[in-house]
Chain A
Amino acid sequence: MPRVTQLYEYHVKHAKMTEFAGYDMPLWYTTTTDEHLAVRNSCGIFDVSHMGRFEVGGKGATEFLEGMVPTKVRTQPVGRAFYTLFLNGRGGIIDDLIVVKTTESTYTVVVNAANSGTDMKHLVDRAPGGVEIAEVTDSTIMVAVQGPGASESLQPICSADLSQLKRFRSVPTEILGKRSLVSRTGYTGEDGFEIIVYGPTVQNPKDGLEIWERLAGASTPCGLGARDSLRLEAGLPLHGSDIDATTNPFEADLAWVISEGKGEYFGRAAIDTARESGPETIRRGLVLGKGIPRHGFNILDESDSRTGTVTSGTFSPVLRKGIALCRVRREASEVGSPVKVVIRDTIEGGNLAKTPFYDEQTYGWKRAAQH
């Protein structure tokens, strides 16, 4: 039997359900296109309670995490939420994650649902005595409130002044009187928040459902279909499809997470070697003139030599075109290069493209900052 989140009772009444990472999750409530456009144009909410949530604290927590990720930890200010990676000894990406520095010596770590067991073991196996790691996935809910209208939807039930919360910042607060952690982060490219509310369990989900239903009254509930098309349109990789334990940060086009002048961390030796040799393939965006690129489709150059593979693709509701993330050979990876994609028995033309795929004056969190 698949697991369920605390908000299952709402989803099963209103959504088409699907199994994802061992959880029975909403795929769509109305249509993926409508939910997608609600997030780009106003506000959508997503139940992301399936994602793994760990609290890391105790003596030496900062030094421990410093040694586990390629991003600087000690110098991050309290209240910062930052994106980083867990690496294996070969420099491959075990998972991508968000770390929230909640106090000088405590951290909340949010990881992909499918990897949370692996991540937990990765941490516990290497944690020195004194460091405490607790999983809080089952005793908290997590909801993403995303879109240009996110502040307006969340503010009425949130005690903190959201206008004072900058992007990639986090604040402990109350939502409908319940202890919460609100971060200005997300997986859609839009302005928005990810909230963790402490307390609700599957056995006693009442407080969680009340918050979800209040938010649903002011925004559009969205399923995993829109979550995937939104993150793809924003050019954000999905671990397990676009990046995985065999991809290093240079191949993943995520080298920016590696802080300069950082000391030892797990995977460092392999990262230094990989930086020297450079990636053989690199992650890129791709836009097609016609057709929809899908996972596993081959990419050819103009002389029909194979240069790469589509790692995830969809139809972009904003561009009205097929878009994809792909892995292409470095020498054929220049943005703008013409490419061909083999779609079943036809070949369609397109170009490698910058990400986000949409015009950032019109969509995405940067446009909100202009007002």
Chain B
Amino acid sequence: MDFSGYQIPKELLYTKEHEWARVEGAIIRVGITDYAAKSLNDVVYVTLPKPDERVEQLKAMGSVESIKAVSELYSPLSGTVTAVNSELLMHPELVNKSPYSEGWILELKPERLDTERKVLLDAKGYAAHLASINKDQPTSSQSP
């Protein structure tokens, strides 16, 4: 599925802040969406939480930066960080090249998956969210 050229894989869950969560088994993989990566234009720096750090749903847990802008990273779910993608420290451009696979950000062990997942959007809901925030400017995103 996509919205005006932005990929939105249908098996993922999304935040309105443009993070995705792959909910499969006990560990959840998290990243930022194609839309977020393209809006940033060129990711040059990421600040990640440390393994074993606790993160809370929709609270800032790090940042993704382009040459021009800083974008906060919000956790889609509450839990404990089990792994971070350390490749991104040397190759932050992976977030642009491959936001849903090689450019993943971190993995976490969720605490309240069953209740918290209801807050997240499915692919259809996220596509509708992109449509609503881009009503006035069909190809634009948040200001740089």
Contacts and interface: CB of A to CB of B under 8 A. Distances in A.
A, B assembled together: yes
Interface of A: 16-18, 27-28, 31-34, 36, 225, 228-229, 291-292, 294, 314-315, 317, 322, 344, 346
B67 A16 contact: no
B66 interface: yes
Contacts of A225: 41, 67-68, 144
Contacts of B143: 18
A292 B42 contact: no
Contact of B45 (A31, A34, A228, A315): A315
Contacts of B66: 32, 315
A79 B9 CA distance: 60
B80 to A, nearest CB: 20
Interface string B41-56: 1101101000000000
A185 B143 CA distance: 31
A315 B42 CA distance: 11
B67 A291 contact: no
A314 B65 CA distance: 10
20 contacts: A16-B140, A18-B143, A27-B68, A28-B41, A31-B96, A32-B41, A32-B67, A32-B68, A33-B42, A33-B44, A33-B67, A34-B42, A225-B41, A225-B67, A225-B68, A291-B47, A292-B70, A314-B67, A315-B45, A317-B44
A315 B144 contact: no
A294 B41 CA distance: 18
B67 A229 contact: yes
B13 to A, nearest CB: 27
Given A18-B144, A32-B68, A225-B68, A322 B41 contact: no
Contact of B44 (A17, A28, A315, A346): A315
Given A33-B44, A294-B70, 10 more contacts: A16-B41, A17-B140, A18-B144, A27-B41, A32-B66, A33-B67, A225-B67, A225-B144, A228-B68, A292-B44
**Which 6 pairs of residues, A with B, have the shortest CB-CB distance?**
A31-B42, A315-B44, A32-B67, A33-B42, A229-B67, A315-B67
B65 A315 contact: yes
Nearest to B141: A16
A314 B68 contact: yes
B45 A322 contact: yes
Contacts of B47: 291, 346
A292 B47 CA distance: 10
Nearest to B92: A315
Contacts of B144: 18, 27, 225
A33 B65 CA distance: 13
Interface string B64-81: 011110100000000000
Nearest to A320: B44
Contacts of B65: 292, 315
Contacts of A17: 140
